[in-house]
């Protein structure tokens, strides 16, 4: 028996639940990126997922396991954007009510999309209010089931299906680069990757300003920081999860950081060379490879692109800046 929150079997079970509901996103390659890094890169394009990010996987996996009683009352979630949209869309597909707690400074595109999927949005100030406390209060008052953005076994297993699909397509990889915020994506992806390719080294990549994951990984205990200010809005988490951290400790090779300017350069690369709009958080992984933060030369490398949800105006500001 494992003492970890999820196993490979959980990821496989999740893949069956989301089949025909979530997109099996394409795996792309880029001769230019290969040349620049000296590696063979395989891009798992979750920017093409339903609602524009990997979060739909975990959201649907979690909500599809609700009891009839839970479904009747609905779900509540807190998120800076992509989890919000994922939960709102999954709830819509399953015919459930969804209440979403979002920060006042969440990207407009993420807020509007959440509302368009039928989510009831409640705003809070991420620098002075505790979203979890607000969520628990409303959950208790209205009988809604609270689904956190990353620290939940069904969420983690669902997110791991991205790596499962990637490795089914590419065969064994030497390295897998995964975005790191709260750890939901990397804990699921590492669980899948290390089972399918035990020699694969999994690296987490987070923004320089929000290096709580790196601090936690190196100190052996969860380190909490102030909400980081970074263009990578999807990785503005102050700490790793209690369930995600043990998996990261056991299965992840190392955690590296990249700067905001590197993220912007990577956004430009994706747009100009690969004709894709990728949000800053989605750029963390390739930025780590391009910046030499992970030794990828001569290796077969999986690059998770976590999402593509960014306001077009903000995108233009960043790439022209």
What DSSP string runs through 15-60? HHHHTTTS----EE--HHHHHHHTSEEEEEEGGGSGGGBTHHHHHH
- Is 2 part of a structural domain of the chain? no
Among the options 15, 30, 79, 80, which is catalytic? Answer: 80
30-55 pLDDT per residue, tens: 999 999 999 999 999 999 999 999 99
Among the options 44, 55, 110, 194, which is catalytic? Answer: 55
- Is 1 part of a structural domain of the chain? no
* Same domain for 116 and 200: no
Domain boundary among 88, 112, 146: 146
- pLDDT the model gives residue 1: 41
* Same domain for 182 and 128: no
* Same domain for 306 and 255: yes
* Same domain for 64 and 50: no
* Same domain for 208 and 77: no
The answer to whether 80 is a known catalytic residue is yes
Q: Comparing C-alpha atoms, which of 316, 140, 124, 313 is closest to residue 227?
A: 124
- Is 316 part of a structural domain of the chain? yes
Domain boundary among 122, 146, 170: 146
Q: How many domains does the chain have?
A: 2
The residue ranges of the chain whose pLDDT is under 50 are 1
Distances (CA, A) of 122 to 60, 77, 118, 251: 21, 10, 13, 36
- pLDDT the model gives residue 227: 87
Phi, psi dihedral angles at 19 (to 5 degrees): -55, 135
* Same domain for 226 and 308: yes
CA angle 23, 26, 27 (to 5 degrees): 140
Global confidence as pTM: 0.95
* Same domain for 40 and 172: yes
Domain boundary among 146, 164, 181: 146
Burial class (CB in 10 A: 0-12, 13-18, 19+), 38: exposed
Helix or strand or coil: residue 180?
coil
For 16, the domain range is: 8-54+152-320
- Is 166 part of a structural domain of the chain? yes
């Amino acid at each position: 028996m494992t003492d970890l929150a999820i196993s490979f079997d959980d990821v496989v079970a999740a893949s069956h639940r989301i089949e025909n509901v979530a997109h099996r996103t394409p795996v792309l390659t880029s001769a230019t990126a290969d040349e620049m890094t000296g590696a063979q890169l395989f891009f798992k394009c979750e920017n093409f997922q339903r609602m524009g990010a990997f979060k739909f996987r975990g959201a649907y996996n979690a909500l599809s396991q609700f009891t009839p009683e839970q479904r009747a009352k609905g779900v509540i979630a807190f998120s800076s954007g992509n989890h919000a949209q994922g939960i709102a869309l999954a709830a819509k597909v399953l015919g459930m009510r969804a209440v979403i707690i979002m920060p006042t400074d969440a990207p407009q595109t993420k807020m509007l999309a959440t509302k368009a999927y039928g989510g009831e949005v409640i705003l809070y100030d991420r620098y002075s209010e505790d979203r979890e406390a607000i969520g628990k209060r409303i959950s208790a008052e209205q009988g809604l089931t609270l689904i956190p953005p990353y620290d939940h076994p069904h969420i983690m297993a669902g997110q791991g299906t991205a790596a499962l699909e990637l490795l089914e397509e590419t065969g064994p990889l030497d390295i897998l680069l995964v975005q790191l915020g709260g750890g939901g994506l990397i804990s699921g992806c590492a669980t899948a990757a290390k089972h399918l390719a035990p020699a694969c080294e999994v690296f987490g990549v987070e923004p320089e300003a929000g290096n709580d994951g790196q601090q936690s990984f190196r100190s052996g205990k969860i380190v909490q920081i102030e909400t980081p200010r970074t263009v990578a809005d999807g990785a503005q988490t102050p700490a790793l999860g209690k369930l995600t951290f043990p998996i990261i400790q056991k299965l992840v090779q190392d955690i590296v950081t990249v700067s905001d300017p590197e993220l912007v350069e990577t956004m430009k690369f994706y747009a100009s060379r690969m004709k894709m709009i990728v949000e800053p958080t989605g750029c963390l992984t390739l930025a780590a490879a391009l910046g030499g933060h992970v030794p990828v030369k001569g290796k077969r490398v999986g690059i998770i692109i976590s999402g593509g949800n960014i306001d077009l105006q903000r995108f233009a500001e960043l790439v022209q800046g």
